[in-house]
Structure 1
Amino acid sequence: MVRDDAGADDLFRRHQAVLPAWMPLYYELPMEIVAGAGCVVTDGEGTEYLDFYSGIATNILGYGVREVREAVQRQLCTGIVHTSTFYLIRAQVEVAERIGRLSGIPDPVVFFTCSGTEAVETALLLATQYRDSHQIISLRYAYHGRSFGALGVTGDRMWQGRGLSPLRVAHVRGGGRRRGELGSLDDTAYVRVCAEELEETITTSTPGRTAAMIVEPVQGVAGAVPLVPGQLGAYKEVLDRHDVPLIVDEVQTGWGRTGQFWGHQWHEVTPDLMVFAKGGGNGLSMGGVVGRREIMSCLPVPSLSSFGGNPLAMAAVRATIDYIETHALPAHAARVGDLLIEELRRNLANEPWVREVRGAGLLMAVEYAQPGSPAQPAPQMAEAVQEACRRRGLLVGLGGTFHDCARIMPPLTLSAEQAREGARRVAAATKDAREN
């Protein structure tokens, strides 16, 4: 097969012709990434970039990781890429055993899917069947995926579309208290308000039997907004009183990204169901749900995921978990994340357009607002900063309910020097955007 070496501008035109307009691309002239090593990627024009986005938090170890590559190659050499879940898959069983142990959930059962969206759909299916209810409680500013049910529980208007849903959904307060009268509350007071709101929602605004509450420990798409310390625990106490299962969405926060293996571990809470995806395969498609046996076993009919837990993906997941544990990457993410956020805050301290730098571990964001009007988002500034970062050899994402955040999610193998260099580039790009 002859390689098509057409440039990025031609590839962009072809993309527009055959792919949907609602699938956005970054940058005024979108780029093609063709190679990578460690935390650095190369585009089709030969330009190198320090990657602070890692494929939306998915290339969690970075690029060209020998251990993962060799594990995938060994599986390819067997000739078996797919068999389906109607047959035993040794790697699937072994990975399920490990995820079950890592989850901390008593008597865990695991079901594998191909993506975070499919994992969320599965968790919603199980919870609604188990509780015989289609009532779900979610958080404002939440994002849980692109499918019908996942969009229904999403609390971010940018992603909700027309708001149609197969579920009845009530949204309660998320991690952010930066706007409105609650902005002046300390953590203890805010947690109390959140718990009282959840209690009132369950007792007055739901039909008497709630299927589940779904929560991100750090609201990633909203702009890396962590739940307040104690907030998830307070929610769990209310849920337990009403026998409502807690679903924790670890799609972006899992595998060590926040500085613990799972984001909910910062809150010392054990969920009833947990969904995972993204970084677990270091780029290979994977996802799943782990949960209490009685909930995971409640479906009255057979079900499966044709490609979920396939031998190739499970080889990558097994090698990725090995690498994370062998190299103590959650602790590394906590240390380098602290350094990175400190450097960002120091370098951006005098920038009038920067409202806040926040996050947990190596999941963070820089929020931009109008100078002198911190309640007025500045999405145009965030977009300009992203473009300027690219010109300076750094890839960052965009996010925030108002599209006003530069999202920063580098591989967990990021070095201290790369963290410092990346922070310098973000600061320089912010200055570029301000002056231009």
Structure 2
Amino acid sequence: MSDLYGRHQAVLPDWLALYYADPIEITHGEGRYVWDADGKQYLDFFGGILTTMTAHALPEITKAVSEQAGRIIHSSTLYLNRPMVELAERIAQLSGIPDARVFFTTSGTEANDTALLLATSYRRSNQILAMRNSYHGRSFSTVGITGNKGWSPTSLSPLQTLYVHGGVRTRGPYADLSDDEFIAACVADLEDLLGHVRPPAALIAEPIQGVGGFTSPPDGLYAAFRRVLQERGILWIADEVQTGWGRTGEHFWGWQAHAENGPPDILTFAKGIGNGMSIGGVVARAEVMNCLDSNSISTFGGTQITMAAGLANLNYLLEHDLQGNARRVGGLLIERLRAVAAQLPGVREVRGRGLMIGIELVKPGTDTADPETAAAVLEAAREEGLLLGKGGGHNTSALRVAPPLSLTVAEAEEGAAILERALRSCVQ
């Protein structure tokens, strides 16, 4: 591994993040487990950043990809593409957006970039509302609307971004308010902001902030925001790259926790739908999607092999009720972790929904982030055979737990036991 690590450092950028002091090479996986180049087995509680949504080496997906590869892998969007049309039909129906149109990309970054192009073109405005502590991708435009300085390397942007309150319930000036008071204060802040600027194109928001450490507002905040936005013709973009496809358990889409005023104008997705294949996309009602007045294509978006994987993955997800499994197993897992956290002063909060759980670490007796301890827990868990993620807008002090949605109760208990030992060994 040291040889591969040295080769990595010699040819890849310094800013390309790697986990662990001694990085690992994952060579294969099955179900919820993966193995490294030394043959060590790990229970995967991060799924390639929430991307391996159903399972590693799922036979149904492997078969669909293999059969499609034997026919044709790629032709571009310049030709009719049956798997792309079939998957678009399914997603349009599931999105909840009326008269929906679907455009496929290769990543969540590209999906959000497309959503910004649509919104700014439709509204003839380059102003975007975004949430503090947010993350929307690594392209020039999406970095410019990311409200997390750890993942935003430049302030230069083609957009004027205005950041609003609400993405983090337990920090900031409104943290001590009740849920209803919190929502009212955030709405008042939004209304005040809009009174000082020209009408923005859109608000983009993750229903649960992913890289931000799995933080979220009270249910109904974005519905309350939507009332304000609709009065002014401002679009709502729901970034469902991490929350979509039933991961939160309670809902198929994260926006459905804020559904009082209907679906978003634009929805973006990626990650889980491909189960590791490069699929992203945008759903919007026809008048928004069709507002562009020039031609466009996507060379690799919607290519036949990725669409075949997406269709097989979506079928498996729905037929096996993985949303319900995320709700049931995730509910047990989060309560187990909360019981452990209650005994550790260095754990500030265990939060999340379904199989999207964040554990925020702080220096005991304070609200000061403790990224060093978070890194130590990550290492300790890995030593015992558990892979986790990390994130957070406060110096990466939150552990992220997001296993494949097919996680069993026994595997949840196995992972929770390892995580408990890692927390007890590292957290005061």
In 2, Cα distance between the equivalents of 1:91 and 1:39? Answer: 27
2:85 is aligned with 1:93 = yes
**Cα shift at 1:181:** 4.1
2:252 maps to a residue whose letter is F
Aligned to 2:126: 134
After superposition, give the CA deviation of every residue in 1:279-325 in whole Å (9 maximum; x if it has no partner).
10110001010001000000010011100000000000000110011
In 2, Cα distance between the equivalents of 1:63 and 1:179? Answer: 36
1:188 maps to a residue whose letter is D
What is the 5 A alignment of 1:19-418?
19-78=12-71, 80-204=72-196, 206-207=197-198, 209-259=199-249, 260-268=251-259, 269-373=262-366, 375-401=367-393, 402-418=395-411
The answer (yes or no) to whether the contact 2:220–2:257 under 8 Å persists in 1 is: no
**Cα shift at 1:178:** 2.1
After superposition, give the CA deviation of every residue in 1:222-260 in whole Å (9 maximum; x if it has no partner).
110122111011011111111101000000011111112
Aligned to 1:4: none
In 2, Cα distance between the equivalents of 1:181 and 1:291? Answer: 34
In 1, Cα distance between the equivalents of 2:137 and 2:408? Answer: 31
Name the SS of the counterpart of 1:407 in structure 2: strand
Structure 2: runs of 5 or more not aligned? none
The answer (yes or no) to whether the contact 2:109–2:139 under 8 Å persists in 1 is: yes
Q: Which moved more, 1:347-356 or 1:61-70?
A: 347-356
1:415 maps to a residue whose letter is T
In 2, Cα distance between the equivalents of 1:144 and 1:174? Answer: 16
RMSD across aligned positions (CA):
1.0
In 2, Cα distance between the equivalents of 1:255 and 1:138? Answer: 23
**Alignment identity in percent?**
48
Name the SS of the counterpart of 2:359 in structure 1: strand
The answer (yes or no) to whether the contact 2:134–2:167 under 8 Å persists in 1 is: no
**Cα shift at 1:54:** 0.1
**Cα shift at 1:34:** 0.6
1:227 maps to a residue whose letter is P
The answer (yes or no) to whether the contact 2:243–2:253 under 8 Å persists in 1 is: yes
1:425 maps to a residue whose letter is I
Q: Which moved more, 1:282-291 or 1:170-179?
A: 170-179
**Cα shift at 1:197:** 1.1
**Cα shift at 1:180:** 4.3
TM-score using structure 1 length: 0.96
In 1, Cα distance between the equivalents of 2:187 and 2:341? Answer: 35
Q: How many residues align?
A: 424
After superposition, give the CA deviation of every residue in 1:187-213 in whole Å (9 maximum; x if it has no partner).
100011111111111221x22x21111
Name the SS of the counterpart of 1:183 in structure 2: coil
In 1, Cα distance between the equivalents of 2:64 and 2:276? Answer: 13
2:121 maps to a residue whose letter is Q
Structure 1: runs of 5 or more not aligned? 1-7
Name the SS of the counterpart of 1:341 in structure 2: helix
In 1, Cα distance between the equivalents of 2:142 and 2:12? Answer: 22
In 2, Cα distance between the equivalents of 1:188 and 1:179? Answer: 16
In 2, Cα distance between the equivalents of 1:382 and 1:36? Answer: 26
The answer (yes or no) to whether the contact 2:144–2:154 under 8 Å persists in 1 is: no
The answer (yes or no) to whether the contact 2:341–2:349 under 8 Å persists in 1 is: no
In 2, Cα distance between the equivalents of 1:434 and 1:276? Answer: 35
Name the SS of the counterpart of 2:55 in structure 1: coil
The answer (yes or no) to whether the contact 2:174–2:185 under 8 Å persists in 1 is: no
In 2, Cα distance between the equivalents of 1:21 and 1:174? Answer: 33
In 1, Cα distance between the equivalents of 2:387 and 2:337? Answer: 15
TM-score using structure 2 length: 0.98
